[in-house]
Amino acid sequence: MKRNAIAACMALMVAAGSVTGCSSQTGTKESDTTAQDTAAGTEAVKSSAAENKADGVTITFWHSMGGVNGEAINTLVEQFNKENTDKITVEAQYQGSYDDAINKLKSAQIGSMGADLVQIYDIGTRFMIDSGWVVPMQDLIDGEGWDLSQVEPNIAAYYTVDDVLYSMPFNSSTPILYYNKDMFEKAGITEIPDSLPKIAAVGDGLLEKGGAGEVISLGIYGWFFEQLIAVQGEFYADNNNGRTANATKVVFDENGAGLNVVQTWKDLVDSGFVGNFGRNTDDTRNAFIAGRTAMYLDSTAQLASVIKGVGGRFEIGTGNMPRIGEKEDGGVIIGGGSLWIIDNKDEARKNAAWEFVKYASSPEAQAAWMQGTGYFATNVKSYEIESMKTYLEENPNFTTAINQLHNTPTNEFTSGALLGVFPEARAKFEENMELVLMGQQTPEDCIKNVATAVNAAITNYNETTETAK
């Protein structure tokens, strides 16, 4: 009953118009690392077959990484299959987008189990916890005494509820500001804007002296809305962002944070410094790469692909995610995806999946993953590896993202909100924000309409989930 009911709820969420995860699913950088980078990760898979009862087991791993990222996953899997001493075999299977993967999982649960390990996007976290389909990572961590402190605290916090880590962070990212250094130099601008008002303040100089066609390309993306609420030190939803209990409503309409975001965003567009680029972040990225805009916002995971796209035609710089105002001291929320072990009531397959998770989370594997994809290394010890040190020396722009992550306070705001209907919530914001920028709706009506729609979806989700228990 529970699985069918929650699966039905998920179907409604997707039908409402979901979006993909916050980070790009295309590759960002060809890996130049060797098999030695992950070889030491074998230390994570040394437990004997007698202990883990996983000897000779084959497990299925569903993921949503295409392109170069998919190649990086395949390399990781091949290394594990070759190096683990228990003769475990992981079969990596690409499932399409994040939405495709979670829907296929839903269908598989209704019939037969299709996967042992799945990669799920950040906004699927609440649904996965409520589904009852998973083995919490915390159970395996505590059972073995695995050192959780090696996982970046600000990343682990997102997937932790009531001191329980439900999934293992894998591909993680944050938003940053990309800017054209050549345009800034021509305009005589030396200070990188760290707020939306400061972006507006340098607008005239970038247009008149810098040669920019537009100051910034800013895509209509729900992830940015959530970030700009968190940076204000405000909640997106009640019950501490749905972390002390399932959220019953959003609160960005009550605390003023949502209206502040929409109004400031609209003011920036009305200033003539940014065009309406719609909801496709590819359009904003392409405008920057083409030299049309002086700045744009995107995931850290896009850095290498942007560098490749620019091809040396101009120098790229990076800065922190801009704030709404001048005095905010909040921080960013991570995005991306994590690894979930499916409870197939098979101890051998569960333990085999856990062995692979440990391997994929090792310092060496995460260092190679970051260099091959552009996502953060989730293991703090990865940054002590020589190949990683060399990578950061050669790619200094990426240190912006690392420093931003480390300087972000870990709290209820920056841990991020958990909603079972987040795909729908993002879609509703994007629909209404677009109407604001087209002059067809006021910022006040935007926030009201988004809150009303999302609250109705939350109520339906909670009722469905409660009925299923």
DSSP string, 242-293: HTSS---SB-TTTSSHHHHHHHHHHHHHHTTSS---TT-HHHHHHHHHTTSE
Residues 189 and 286 in one domain: yes
Q: pLDDT per residue over 141-172, tens digit each?
A: 999 999 999 999 999 999 999 999 999 999 99
Residues 265 and 347 in one domain: no
Query: Which residues constitute the domain of residue 306?
Result: 175-331+422-452
Q: Is residue 410 a part of any domain in this protein?
A: no
Q: Is residue 462 a part of any domain in this protein?
A: no
Q: Which two tokens stand for residue 159?
A: 């997937």
Q: What percent of the chain has pLDDT over 90?
A: 67
Alpha-carbon torsion (270, 275, 277, 281), positive or negative: negative
Give the separation between CA 344 and CA 411, rounded to whole angstroms.
Answer: 34
- The pLDDT value recorded for residue 52 is 54
Give the separation between CA 366 and CA 379, rounded to whole angstroms.
Answer: 6
- The pLDDT value recorded for residue 279 is 85
Query: Percent helix, strand and coil across the chain, each rounded to 5?
Result: 50, 15, 35
State how many domains the chain has.
2
Query: What CATH number corresponds to the domain at position 310?
Result: 3.40.190.10
Q: Is residue 469 a part of any domain in this protein?
A: no
Residues 47 and 99 in one domain: yes
Q: Is residue 63 a part of any domain in this protein?
A: yes
Beta strand extents in 285-334 (DSSP E only): 293-299, 316-319
Residues 80 and 157 in one domain: yes
* Least-confidence region, from 107-116, 201-210, 269-278, 339-348: 107-116
Give the separation between CA 355 and CA 378, rounded to whole angstroms.
Answer: 17
Q: Is residue 65 a part of any domain in this protein?
A: yes
- In the block, tokens 């938003």 appear at 175
* Least-confidence region, from 9-18, 51-60, 351-360: 9-18
